[in-house]
Protein backbone atom coordinates (compact mmCIF):
# COMPACT_ATOMS: atom_id res chain seq x y z
CA UNK A 1 0.00 0.00 0.00
CA UNK A 2 2.86 2.38 0.79
CA UNK A 3 4.31 2.02 -2.72
CA UNK A 4 0.90 2.63 -4.31
CA UNK A 5 0.53 5.90 -2.40
CA UNK A 6 4.02 6.97 -3.47
CA UNK A 7 3.52 6.13 -7.15
CA UNK A 8 0.05 7.69 -7.24
CA UNK A 9 1.41 10.88 -5.70
CA UNK A 10 4.27 10.88 -8.19
CA UNK A 11 1.85 10.65 -11.11
CA UNK A 12 -0.37 13.42 -9.69
CA UNK A 13 2.61 15.76 -9.20
CA UNK A 14 3.93 15.11 -12.70
CA UNK A 15 0.53 15.59 -14.34
CA UNK A 16 -0.15 18.79 -12.41
CA UNK A 17 3.08 20.48 -13.47
CA UNK A 18 2.86 19.06 -17.00
CA UNK A 19 -0.62 20.54 -17.37
CA UNK A 20 0.73 24.02 -16.59
CA UNK A 21 3.51 23.60 -19.14
CA UNK A 22 1.04 22.34 -21.74
CA UNK A 23 -1.21 25.34 -21.04
CA UNK A 24 1.71 27.68 -21.72
CA UNK A 25 2.49 25.90 -24.95
CA UNK A 26 -1.11 25.78 -26.12
CA UNK A 27 -1.78 29.46 -25.32
CA UNK A 28 1.61 30.43 -26.77
CA UNK A 29 2.44 32.69 -23.85
CA UNK A 30 4.43 32.63 -20.64
CA UNK A 31 2.62 35.62 -19.21
CA UNK A 32 2.42 35.42 -15.44
CA UNK A 33 4.92 32.55 -15.24
CA UNK A 34 8.31 33.27 -13.73
CA UNK A 35 11.32 31.45 -15.11
CA UNK A 36 12.55 31.40 -11.48
CA UNK A 37 9.73 28.95 -10.74
CA UNK A 38 11.28 26.44 -13.13
CA UNK A 39 14.87 27.17 -12.09
CA UNK A 40 13.94 26.64 -8.45
CA UNK A 41 12.02 23.49 -9.27
CA UNK A 42 14.92 22.10 -11.30
CA UNK A 43 17.42 22.82 -8.51
CA UNK A 44 15.17 21.33 -5.83
CA UNK A 45 14.39 18.27 -7.93
CA UNK A 46 18.10 17.64 -8.59
CA UNK A 47 18.76 17.86 -4.85
CA UNK A 48 15.85 15.57 -4.03
CA UNK A 49 16.92 13.09 -6.73
CA UNK A 50 20.43 12.90 -5.25
CA UNK A 51 19.02 12.54 -1.74
CA UNK A 52 16.58 9.87 -2.93
CA UNK A 53 19.45 7.98 -4.55
CA UNK A 54 21.49 8.14 -1.35
CA UNK A 55 18.63 6.74 0.77
CA UNK A 56 17.60 4.49 -2.14
CA UNK A 57 13.96 5.36 -2.66
CA UNK A 58 13.05 4.36 -6.24
CA UNK A 59 9.72 6.24 -6.20
CA UNK A 60 11.40 9.53 -5.39
CA UNK A 61 14.39 8.88 -7.65
CA UNK A 62 12.03 8.38 -10.59
CA UNK A 63 9.74 11.26 -9.61
CA UNK A 64 12.51 13.80 -9.16
CA UNK A 65 14.35 12.87 -12.33
CA UNK A 66 11.05 13.21 -14.17
CA UNK A 67 10.47 16.58 -12.49
CA UNK A 68 13.94 17.79 -13.53
CA UNK A 69 13.08 16.99 -17.14
CA UNK A 70 9.66 18.59 -16.72
CA UNK A 71 11.26 21.71 -15.26
CA UNK A 72 13.73 21.95 -18.14
CA UNK A 73 10.89 21.76 -20.68
CA UNK A 74 8.91 24.40 -18.76
CA UNK A 75 11.95 26.66 -18.53
CA UNK A 76 12.72 26.40 -22.26
CA UNK A 77 9.09 27.11 -23.18
CA UNK A 78 8.96 30.09 -20.81
CA UNK A 79 12.18 31.60 -22.13
CA UNK A 80 11.10 31.04 -25.73
CA UNK A 81 7.74 32.75 -25.29
CA UNK A 82 9.16 35.59 -23.18
CA UNK A 83 11.73 36.35 -25.89
CA UNK A 84 9.07 36.11 -28.58
CA UNK A 85 6.77 38.44 -26.65
CA UNK A 86 9.61 40.95 -26.18
CA UNK A 87 10.43 40.80 -29.88
CA UNK A 88 6.78 41.33 -30.88
CA UNK A 89 6.55 44.24 -28.45
CA UNK A 90 9.62 45.90 -30.01
CA UNK A 91 8.21 45.44 -33.51
CA UNK A 92 4.88 46.88 -32.40
CA UNK A 93 6.62 49.87 -30.81
CA UNK A 94 8.65 50.46 -33.99
CA UNK A 95 5.51 50.39 -36.12
CA UNK A 96 3.78 52.88 -33.82
CA UNK A 97 6.75 55.24 -34.07
CA UNK A 98 6.66 55.10 -37.86
CA UNK A 99 2.93 55.83 -38.13
**What are the tens digits of pLDDT across the range 18-67?**
998 999 999 988 888 888 999 999 999 999 999 999 999 999 999 999 99
DSSP letter assigned to residue 99: -
* pTM exceeding the 0.95 threshold for the entire prediction: no
**Is 67 or 92 the better-scoring residue by pLDDT?**
67
Domain extent at residue 41: 2-98
**In this predicted structure, what is the pLDDT of residue 32?**
83
User: What distance in Å separates the CA atoms of residue 99 and residue 27, rounded to the nearest whole number?
Assistant: 30
pLDDT of 71 > 80? The answer is yes
- DSSP secondary structure, 6-73, as one string: HHHHHHHHHHHHHHHHHHHHHHT--TT--HHHHHHHHHHHHHHHHHHHHTT-HHHHHHHHHHHHHHHH
Return the percent helix, strand and coil in the chain, to nearest 5.
90, 0, 10
Q: How many domains does the chain have?
A: 1
Residues 7-18: what's their mean pLDDT? 91
CATH classification at residue 14: 1.20.1280.290
Amino acid sequence: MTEIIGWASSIILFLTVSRQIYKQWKERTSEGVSIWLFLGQIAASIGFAIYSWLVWNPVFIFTNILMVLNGIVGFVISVYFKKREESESKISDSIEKIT
